[in-house]
Amino acid sequence: MNHLTFDQLSVNHDIQAYLKAADDNFAAIGYKEHGFRHAQLTSHIAGNVLKFLDFPARDVELARIAGYLHDIGNAMGQKEHAQNGALLTLDILENLELPYTHIFPVINAIGSHEDKDVDPSSAIAAAIILGDKTDVHHSRVRLRDLATLDMHGRVNYACQRAFLRVNGETRVISLELTIDTEICPVMEYFEIFLSRTKLCRRASRALKCEFELFINKDKFL
Ligand SMILES: [Fe+2]
Ligand SMILES: [Fe+2]
């Protein structure tokens, strides 16, 4: 069995090229950061979610891999990037001779990470949704001129801190956000991120956890 690790995979030149191409495509249209930073953060959070909930080390490693690769389909275009990313990942992981018992959970998680109306089909799929959908942060916004930002950009730009706290004992997953309300009112966060919040709750429940949302220390969920 190939014991390819996340650390080996993250320095693979093909993967780095896909991530750069995906981010370059988004930069060209002024869309927020979708490159190495988002890939690394999603990977890190997805792995930690399963680690803190005492999942086996294999699942933690596969969640890290899936989190890192989840958006490479954007190299081909945003539409259907989840399915395209799953196919690209299949190709990459086959070439790296990862066993199919490891490949299938990863491509399933990637291919379903934007599904809004169905429950995540595995813990790995749930973990990357939590890593991906909680990445709200001012550093992702490329345009620094506030007047030109749309509401989506404003909400991200206003977010000074986003932290996902996972309590394995109480089985509560909490998203803690600090939002500068001078830049955007909390209401705008919900206008933009209501569907993501619902996805996070659905993913948490798939992990047999409750989901909480705190904005500026106030509990909204
Ligand atoms: Fe995505
Ligand atoms: Fe993403």
Query: Is the residue at 74 inside a domain?
Result: yes
- Tens of pLDDT, residues 43-54: 999 999 999 999
Query: How far, in Å, are 65, 103, 178, 196, 212 from residue 205 at the CA level?
Result: 22, 24, 24, 14, 11
**Cβ-contact 175, 164 below 8 angstroms:** yes
- Tens of pLDDT, residues 83-97: 999 999 999 999 999
- 183/52 Cα distance (integer angstroms): 34
Helices (runs of H) and strands (runs of E) counted in the chain = 9, 4
**How far away, in angstroms, is 76 Cα from ligand 1 center?**
12
- 173/207 Cα distance (integer angstroms): 10
pLDDT, position 144? 62
Three-state SS letters, 78-92: CCCHHHHHHHHHHHH
Look-up of token digits 């693979």: 12
Q: Give the closest ligand to the alpha carbon of residue 114.
A: 1
Average pLDDT over residues 150-160: 87
Q: Give the closest ligand to the alpha carbon of residue 38.
A: 2
Range of the domain at 139: 6-219
Helix, coil or strand: residue 113 = coil
CATH number at residue 112: 1.10.3210.10
Within 13 Å of residue 112, how many CA atoms lie on the same side as its CB? 20
**How far away, in angstroms, is 33 Cα from ligand 2 center?**
9
The answer to whether the pTM exceeds 0.85 is yes
Helix, coil or strand: residue 178 = strand
Query: Is the residue at 169 inside a domain?
Result: yes
Q: Give the closest ligand to the alpha carbon of residue 135.
A: 2
- Tens of pLDDT, residues 40-83: 999 999 999 999 999 999 999 999 999 999 999 999 999 999 99
Instruction: Identify residues whose C-beta is under 5 A from ligand 2, the ion.
Output: 71, 132
Provide Rg for the chain, Cα atoms: 17
Residue percentage of the chain with pLDDT more than 70:
98
Query: Is the residue at 1 inside a domain?
Result: no
**How far away, in angstroms, is 73 Cα from ligand 1 center?**
8
* Count of domains for the chain: 1
Amino acid letter, residue 209:
C
Query: Is the residue at 93 inside a domain?
Result: yes
Average pLDDT across the chain, whole number: 93
